Copies of this chain bind each other. A is one copy, B any other.
Amino acid sequence: MKVETILTPALFYQVENVEDKIVVVIDILRATSTITTILHNGATAVIPVKEETEAETYKANGFLVGGERGGETIPGFHFGNSPFHYMPERVAGKEVVLTTTNGTKCIEMAKMAHQVVIGSFLNLEALIKHLKNSQRDVVLFCAGWKDRVNLEDSLFAGAVATVYPLRDCDDATLMARDAFELAKDNIYETLQNSNHFKRLASKGVTKDIAYCCEVNVLKIVPVLKEGKLVVA
């Protein structure tokens, strides 16, 4: 099984035969960590939508809606993009609509894949098990930040790749893997110089970052089925 890493959505066009591959969407801070948490907390589905206006329509029809633009909660929405907004008592048994700057855009871009799954440090081990069982080539699709490479998504791609033979990894994957190898015992500390860390820290949400760096605390894998993310 081959593994390739797409470091930013601007390079997603380079994936060939995507319909035969599993795409792992990675937006560590915070969309994919939050999606995994929402489903872990008992929501029946997360409905990713690209446009704020789509989410507004869902809201007008009685859905819970969450989302951010540029890291800020969208005014009038029930939740922002913090995993701590989605407590079990709010989301259990419900469908939640989510729109974020980078993450939900990538889910949309990847939808022609054989399967789209959601990755985060929170569910790393469960994700790896899922990928290994699938026996498919894997695309590690980093959401980045506004089409730029970011460190946290790249490091996570490297973390997933460590279980594959080196010869099956493309160059971006090899680089991400080396970077993760150096960072693995200090993910939170390594991220402190990253662009996103500085941006979120300036908004006072380092608690979110610390949570999103926790490894293997959730046992589920969100997969996209008929436009909704559900537990695999």
Contacts and interface: CB of A to CB of B under 8 A. Distances in A.
Given A8-B11, A14-B147, A171 B194 contact: yes
A232 B167 CA distance: 40
B194 A174 contact: yes
Interface string A146-177: 01111100110000000000110111101110
Contact of A171 (B148, B171, B178, B181): B148
Interface of A is mostly: helix
Interface string A126-149: 000000000000000000010111
Contact of A14 (B148, B150, B183): B148
A98 interface: no
A183 B182 CA distance: 10
A196 B151 CA distance: 24
A57 interface: no
A183 B193 contact: no
A112 interface: no
A196 B193 CA distance: 31
A92 interface: no
B179 A151 contact: no
B169 A155 contact: no
Contacts of A154: 171, 175
A172 B194 CA distance: 9
Contacts of A10: 10-11, 14
A206 interface: no
B178 A149 contact: no
Question: Which 3 pairs between the two chains have the least Cβ-Cβ distance?
Answer: A178-B179, A149-B172, A151-B171
A216 interface: no
Given A149-B171, A166-B193, 8 more contacts: A10-B14, A148-B171, A150-B171, A154-B175, A170-B195, A178-B179, A178-B183, A178-B190
11 contacts: A7-B7, A14-B148, A148-B172, A149-B172, A151-B174, A169-B193, A171-B194, A175-B179, A178-B178, A178-B182, A178-B190
A16 to B, nearest CB: 11
